Chain A
């Protein structure tokens, strides 16, 4: 729906990084490099970005 505030596993605050991540990936950058750049080093936090589907824009019209 919307990016979780924290990593489910370790609790690192990751929400604030999502907009930069998604903008840079949309510009054609390699997700792995962007995550390294943002300091997301553990695989638990990285999957929060890689597996996220931003659905809030699809749901919003029906509220």
Chain B
């Protein structure tokens, strides 16, 4: 198996794997999407009734959005997750009571008129758990309106709810090979037939510039012909070589998510191997 990394940033990763099979790559995709855990706000407690500030002004605990809508929006805010620091609540040593190893509590205390942002969520305790995307609008408050919220973030997986899905866009494609076998009769038509801009005009001739952009749509195979109508392009996708791309929502680094997914897969097969090793034929 060969690996070439094409792009690696905090939130985006794309690489080419050679010498594997579609089912193996698909297993990795499914694990990334639905089984890598992350933290997300799961329980939101709203203060009901009047809220008073230090000067004795009274505010109404009300806003233009329903409370459940605000809770939903808070759930979708990415919470920075260190997978070595946190565990699932039901598997934690606190036996599901909630402790710093399985829950993060955030406080949101804002008085109108103002816009409430995700950055207004203050973690109780460790400030390194503060939300990274500070500018996500949550709700807008007018005069005499206030919000006092206690939000609890816990760990979960994408299989439970999309808010616990650290990897958002995730997919792979068969590695495309685009070959020109002759000089095309109508180069302009050939170049414009490709929606992904694989071809370019070079001194009146068609040139393949970036075959990796190809979607295997086969438009060029029909458009690029000689005078007799015989196709001069061959486009093939390999089922042994794949271009894999995924993005994270920012709660996990792309590299960490990938490492965790691969570790989960190998642990699972190791578990299966151990179960089989005890069986005698």
Using a CB–CB cutoff of 8 Å, the interface residues on chain A facing chain B are 1-3, 5-6, 10-13, 15-16, 18-19, 42, 56-57, 59-61, 63
CB-based contact A61/B137 at 8 Å: no
- CA A61 to CA B77, docked complex, whole Å: 27
26 residue pairs of the A-B complex, CB under 8 angstroms, read A1-B64, A1-B65, A2-B137, A2-B140, A5-B77, A5-B136, A11-B165, A11-B169, A12-B169, A12-B247, A13-B78, A13-B136, A15-B135, A15-B136, A16-B118, A16-B133, A16-B134, A19-B135, A19-B137, A56-B64, A56-B65, A56-B139, A59-B64, A60-B64, A63-B63, A63-B142
Chain A residues near B250: list those with CB within 8 A.
13
Q: Per a CB cutoff under 8 Å, which of B76, B140, B169 touches A57?
A: B140
B77 to chain A minimum Cβ distance, whole angstroms, is 6
Beyond A2-B139, A63-B142, whether A12 also contacts B168 by CB under 8 A is yes
Chain A contacts for B64, CB-based, 8 A: 1, 56, 59-60, 63
With A10-B168, A63-B62 known as contacts, the answer to whether A16 contacts B135 (CB < 8 A) is yes
Number of residues of chain B lying within 8 A (CB) of chain A: 25
Q: How far is the CB of B110 from chain A (nearest CB, A)?
A: 15
B142–A61 CB distance below 8 A: yes
Question: Which residues of B are at the interface with A, using a C-beta cutoff of 8 A?
Answer: 62-65, 73, 76-78, 118, 133-137, 139-140, 142, 145, 162, 165, 168-169, 247, 249-250
Tell whether, in the assembled complex, residue A13 and residue B142 are in contact, meaning their CB atoms are under 8 Å apart: no
User: Complex formed: what's the CA distance from A59 to B140 in Å?
Assistant: 10
Instruction: Report A-chain residues with C-beta under 8 Å of the C-beta of B73.
Output: 5
Give the distance to chain A from B65, nearest Cβ to Cβ, in Å: 7
B63 CB contacts on chain A under 8 angstroms: 63
Q: Which residues of A contact B134 (CB under 8 A)?
A: 16
Say how far B255's CB is from chain A's closest CB, in angstroms.
19
